[in-house]
Homo-oligomer: A and B are copies of this chain.
Amino acid sequence: MGKLLIVGSIAFDEIETPFGKTGKILGGAATFIGLAAGQFRVDAGVVSVVGDDLPEEYLNLLKERDIDVTGVEVIQGGKTFYWKGKYHNDLNSRDTLVTELNTLGDFDPVVPEDFKDADVVMLGNLHPNIQLSVIRQMKVRPKLTVLDTMNFWMDNTWDELMEVIKLIDVITINDEEARQLTGEHSLVKAAAKIQNMGPKYVVIKKGEHGALLFHKEYIFFAPALPLEEVFDPTGAGDTFAGGFAGYLAQTKNISFESLKNAIVQGSNLASFCVERFGTERMLDLEKHEVDLRLAQFKELTQFNIELT
């Protein structure tokens, strides 16, 4: 059983999709990553910051899944990060209606002593300087450091992002971000350029079109499981990342074959996340459901052609 350090936001999300709308519900990258990683046998801990307006029961949801939250700083009198968004009809795009950084704006992460020797570090989407601070606090170089980021940081904090990208092993970004980061339309060319920036592995998330893993001349692809209905895509990317990192922390095997399996595990868990609003589906997800869908995932992708 490996140790997994998760860094990311814990948030109030307010979501509108064609199927309905929520009030303020639990969200945030660290939340989704934690809930996904909680499906594996890992010793996981979260570093984050919230205000004292976050209901205690929200943190308890992580605690109940044996996720250490001593690294979650609660700012007295502070407000928790709040995001409100509305998805378009095809659910492939969304408008951000409100972003209030609140306590996340001054987030100065402190890694608990117990997690300074984590096997895997999962850096959720945050200001690159926060991600950098966490990397620098580690006492032992992790077996694998995974970084998630987004176009916002490419637009606004390019130099800082380049600094952190140099130091990590795996980057997870979407296809448009990979193109923005490199100026290459071809994802094969983009992934090669990104590897030259530092990361040995590049994971390109294509949403409903699956995910690609690149490493040297090797490429692996996992589709998203075709669903009757995507209800709410919020958190799917973080759930993917949490499944990916959680599986690798459990196995402590950082071979390409193992990373392929991690991509499949991440895709599999993300297929549940989108079935209901926010964290709802991940909170009642049971092991036998995960295993059943993993079997479906194999049926979806595995074939048997004899090569002559």
Contacts and interface: CB of A to CB of B under 8 A. Distances in A.
A294 B153 CA distance: 39
A298 B294 contact: no
Contact of A295 (B187, B298, B307): B307
A198 to B, nearest CB: 21
B226 A219 contact: yes
Nearest to A179: B90
Nearest to A260: B303
Contact of A305 (B188, B210, B220, B298): B298
Contacts of A299: 218-220
A261 B185 contact: no
Interface string A215-239: 0001111110011111000000000
A87 to B, nearest CB: 13
Given A206-B209, A209-B209, A291-B308, A227 B303 contact: no
Contacts of A57: none
Interface in A80-100: 89-90
Ranked 3 nearest A-B pairs via Cβ: A209-B209, A260-B303, A221-B223
Given A223-B223, A260-B303, A291-B308, 12 more contacts: A186-B229, A186-B230, A187-B226, A218-B299, A219-B226, A219-B299, A219-B300, A257-B303, A264-B303, A265-B305, A301-B301, A302-B302
Interface of A: 89-90, 185-189, 206, 209-210, 212, 218-223, 226-230, 257, 260-261, 264-265, 291, 294-295, 298-305, 307-308
